[in-house]
Structure 1
């Protein structure tokens, strides 16, 4: 049968309509990308449209259209990495089980930076911090024209401008000009900083503390250059006071007048009273428990009260502190303190009643404490005829330096402290004492660390009996010479009882390796002793340990053997706490 031309056109249209209305046959698809690796391959695969759709729901016609689009997708995916002239060999071939889409890619030579012009304009054009960032722009002449590094440099420069108070900073122009034929690129970048804003008035929205006291926490004054870092410092320091349950520092640049930005500080009061309770166990102390009561704000001047009751097998105490913020209230305080303490260690006991005052000044990483205490101590060694009593006035000073990359689990850190003490008593001749402690943590490989510590102390006194028992040196225990019991080491009296010493030397070297998740192991050697003359009789012990990185700090289980006493058994040590 022969159709006329109009009927032939109608038949062709109906056939196409029937084909397009027929159900699409599922496609089984394998896509191969050859010639690339690393980020280039990842970005190509993430950009290829043929890989972004579900092959099981894709018709053959849709597959062919996506294959035709693939070369454009690949070119687009390579450009951010500086490749503008790739050679692409693509093929779509049927297989028994479906289709194979193969793309062989030669990215070609990358476009390289021929010239970099990063300029500053506006009030911040001579700002040293901005100039430093501009001069360290991550792309230099001869580098591959990597769009990611270009955007990184822009972001870093603008972020620094905003942090330094140039709140209107913007780029004009910001161009990465590419000439694929020449294989060259040019960067034209000008940051117009606009004016530099200043801090305006600060409103503290609270009614529990005197405004005159609270404003002493603010690390800037109206008229100072606006810096985001100082706003963060204010947020952190108010959080740390514990006066408030919520601290929100809100700048209002939209309300700025003549470049002065008003600052709003929204504060919700914290609960006045804080109660704490804890139980634990350590081989030095045995079972222990603590009860604490703090009054976070005694009055509108920010004074605090802290008290704690501690009960342990070898040590029981009741202590109080009345803290008065001074000078910089975030870091400096005057501490009026006192308490009772009783110590029972094997063959000796000590009971102390004390009252004192201390001044603490913190200027990270340093801390300084100046103190003076009045202590009444009664102590006795087993077998002695009577209890000794010494009333002492004890002025002292302490300096501590601390740095750590992590407060709970440092891999690189140092803690060094030196303490000076003088004792003046109507019951004994005066004495002086110095104690230095060092703890050093250093990384060893990706999962190990070295932990070194030392103590050295000396007391200048006519005789040991002039020094109260609590001020004498002892060694042995979890944080001293493991393998020996708590304060087991020291000079002995005529009855053979440990009475402490005027001198102290201890040292420890430990290697710790993280093995699996939060679990690790350690090997260590400790040495030291406390003695009453210049002849040192150092005791040495070695052992192994198990470590668990708990949420509250490292839990350490050690077994140690004294090397000087081969017949002595292994001693177990259990402790919790950071090395620094």
Structure 2
């Protein structure tokens, strides 16, 4: 190599040496990769064999004769493993062929299984010594049945299901007097015999409370939906714990059934809890593109008295919206299911479309109905002063109404599956202390479902008002749309009906819909694409859908997603708009 310096030669040799080491390292990594091949007609059997079979520790440098000797010394154990995996699924006549062969990288273990005909359950005998009618649903839904292929896992699951049902019913000493699985391999038939003796059905005994003193025993007892002497149920205790936790009164909750201290059939229950701090003070600052930068404050008195009455007040201040609200909540007979709420508030809004100032007081009775929907009957009195397109109006309305809502989801903050529906009817009449007469119907919904690695999110808002003149009703009752929570790409409440002069005013009706797809990109970050469409209008002949599309990014925070969206109207000349919002998806 003429013309190559000694330093260059050293460098070249070093590089070549490093490359050789790298190749050897790659080869060594590959050499540690023996393969397993399973050939059988039953996919479930193949999966079960793969789950149980462990590749033997044979060196990848072994030649064919060494592999043959290694297989011969291990073939009995390997075959035994395959047989056990086959019998677990009811194949008691499986024929197995095993082979070890050399490959370019290491070696391959081939397992070929002719499963044969499976064992079938020909006879199933189930008996419950006492109270058999309580087990009827469980017996009808067991994972084993006559005529089904024998599966040992299903047999064990059936035993566990019956035992669990007995425990849920309060049979704390239930036991099997007979649990027999008989197999005739030649006939490929099996018989199952299960005889359960539930024993004595237990009941709730004395219920002992330790409330910590902040709330009265009488109030806490209203959360308890069972009484001493009722049949014992672990699920009832779990439901009680959930209700106490959801009440937001307690930080620590202990519900202890003293099974070992039971008196005959009665199980004493000890309930102890620690109250959360009585008063909460919060303040903060934030920003949304609807209302701009905002400062806010919140105060809560979680229990003003031993009966659990609750007071909270909140205020916020932004360039577009200012508000002050106070609520007094009175828990009723079942604190988790019904309450009476008295509230008062003031809100002022200044948008490009309207200026508004409202004062309100209201009383609402809320309860959870038999279908598990939250239902409210309410009466609001409100005084409004507002200006739309230079025309000032005032109104005084006494508004009774009814609302109903339900939310179901698999997560409180970022559900993959869930839905929410809200419906409301409200109105006022000049015959009932009101300056105007109207009737209004509202229906809102949202649905979230998995879509591949992401989620599909849809929502809608529908509403209509029956009134002689919508312009004389407060802007809080007129319909406007546009903004972070409705049609992105447009300013906050910038979309409405147009008057004879082409100026935007509130509409009698509303129709809004949105479709969105989001998916995780890394950690707590998600990417989204969406389209929104809708309008606020006076009549269908003047309906003009405003549509936008955009993309966004979400960061999953402890309070729910923080959303940053860029959206642009499709059928307008407006530019791209930035939208910021936060909070749970449902």
Looking at structure 2, the residues matched to 46 and 529 of structure 1 have their Cα atoms a distance apart, in angstroms, of 60
Q: Does 1:338 align with 2:383?
A: no
Cα gap change, 1:409 to 1:101, in 2 (>3 Å):
closer
Cα gap change, 1:211 to 1:513, in 2 (>3 Å):
closer
Give the C-alpha shift of residue 396 in structure 1.
3.1
Give the C-alpha shift of residue 100 in structure 1.
7.8
Structure 1 unaligned spans of 5+: 1-26
Looking at structure 2, the residues matched to 30 and 482 of structure 1 have their Cα atoms a distance apart, in angstroms, of 56
- Which of residues 480, 493, 507 in structure 2 aligns to 1:487? 493
Give the C-alpha shift of residue 451 in structure 1.
1.4
Superposed, 1:120-199 pairs within 5 Å as 120-122=128-130, 124-127=131-134, 130-199=135-204
| Other-structure match for 1:377 | 384
Q: Summarize deviations over 1:537-560 as a string: whole Å, max 9, x none.
A: 424223233353624137361413
Give the C-alpha shift of residue 318 in structure 1.
1.5
Give the C-alpha shift of residue 365 in structure 1.
3.6
Cα gap change, 1:520 to 1:488, in 2 (>3 Å):
same
Work out the number of aligned pairs and report it: 542
More deviation, 480-489/512-521: 512-521
Q: Does 1:87 align with 2:95?
A: yes
Looking at structure 1, the residues matched to 256 and 441 of structure 2 have their Cα atoms a distance apart, in angstroms, of 47
| Other-structure match for 2:7 | none
Q: Summarize deviations over 1:309-329 as a string: whole Å, max 9, x none.
A: 112231111111111111211
Q: Summarize deviations over 1:166-208 as a string: whole Å, max 9, x none.
A: 2122222111111222221111111221122122221111222
| Other-structure match for 1:75 | 83
- Which of residues 291, 294, 300 in structure 2 aligns to 1:294? 300
Matched-pair contact (CA < 8 Å) for 1:50–1:63: no
Looking at structure 1, the residues matched to 493 and 106 of structure 2 have their Cα atoms a distance apart, in angstroms, of 79
More deviation, 342-351/217-226: 342-351
Cα gap change, 1:191 to 1:432, in 2 (>3 Å):
same
More deviation, 167-176/511-520: 511-520
Matched-pair contact (CA < 8 Å) for 1:478–1:575: yes
Cα gap change, 1:73 to 1:395, in 2 (>3 Å):
closer
Q: Summarize deviations over 1:128-178 as a string: whole Å, max 9, x none.
A: xx2121122222233221101111121122112211212122222111111
Cα gap change, 1:562 to 1:188, in 2 (>3 Å):
same
Cα gap change, 1:97 to 1:405, in 2 (>3 Å):
closer
Looking at structure 2, the residues matched to 474 and 89 of structure 1 have their Cα atoms a distance apart, in angstroms, of 75
| Other-structure match for 1:35 | 39
Matched-pair contact (CA < 8 Å) for 1:392–1:425: no
More deviation, 389-398/241-250: 389-398
Matched-pair contact (CA < 8 Å) for 1:316–1:341: yes
Looking at structure 2, the residues matched to 445 and 415 of structure 1 have their Cα atoms a distance apart, in angstroms, of 21
Superposed, 1:200-239 pairs within 5 Å as 200-206=205-211, 207-239=213-245
More deviation, 489-498/315-324: 489-498
Helix, strand or coil at the partner of 2:88 = helix
Give the C-alpha shift of residue 282 in structure 1.
2.3
Q: Summarize deviations over 1:272-330 as a string: whole Å, max 9, x none.
A: 12233444332222222322111111111111111111122311111111111112111
Give the C-alpha shift of residue 441 in structure 1.
2.2
Superposed, 1:460-539 pairs within 5 Å as 460-461=467-468, 463-464=469-470, 466-491=472-497, 498-501=504-507, 503-512=508-517, 514=519, 516=521, 519-531=526-538, 536-539=542-545
Q: Does 1:282 align with 2:288?
A: yes
More deviation, 405-414/161-170: 405-414
Matched-pair contact (CA < 8 Å) for 1:247–1:265: yes
More deviation, 110-119/507-516: 507-516
Structure 2 unaligned spans of 5+: 1-30
Matched-pair contact (CA < 8 Å) for 2:381–2:399: yes
Looking at structure 1, the residues matched to 387 and 260 of structure 2 have their Cα atoms a distance apart, in angstroms, of 72
| Other-structure match for 1:362 | 368
- For normalisation by structure 1, the TM-score amounts to 0.82
Cα gap change, 1:29 to 1:507, in 2 (>3 Å):
closer
Looking at structure 2, the residues matched to 376 and 557 of structure 1 have their Cα atoms a distance apart, in angstroms, of 36
Give the C-alpha shift of residue 234 in structure 1.
0.2
| Other-structure match for 2:277 | 271
| Other-structure match for 1:19 | none
Q: Summarize deviations over 1:341-373 as a string: whole Å, max 9, x none.
A: 221112532223333322222236422222233
Matched-pair contact (CA < 8 Å) for 2:120–2:147: yes
Looking at structure 2, the residues matched to 498 and 280 of structure 1 have their Cα atoms a distance apart, in angstroms, of 29
| Other-structure match for 1:17 | none
Cα gap change, 1:365 to 1:402, in 2 (>3 Å):
farther
Looking at structure 2, the residues matched to 514 and 405 of structure 1 have their Cα atoms a distance apart, in angstroms, of 17
Q: Does 1:259 align with 2:265?
A: yes
Q: Does 1:249 align with 2:263?
A: no
Cα gap change, 1:350 to 1:75, in 2 (>3 Å):
same
Matched-pair contact (CA < 8 Å) for 1:33–1:105: no
Looking at structure 2, the residues matched to 323 and 116 of structure 1 have their Cα atoms a distance apart, in angstroms, of 57
| Bigger CA radius of gyration | 1
| Other-structure match for 1:113 | 121
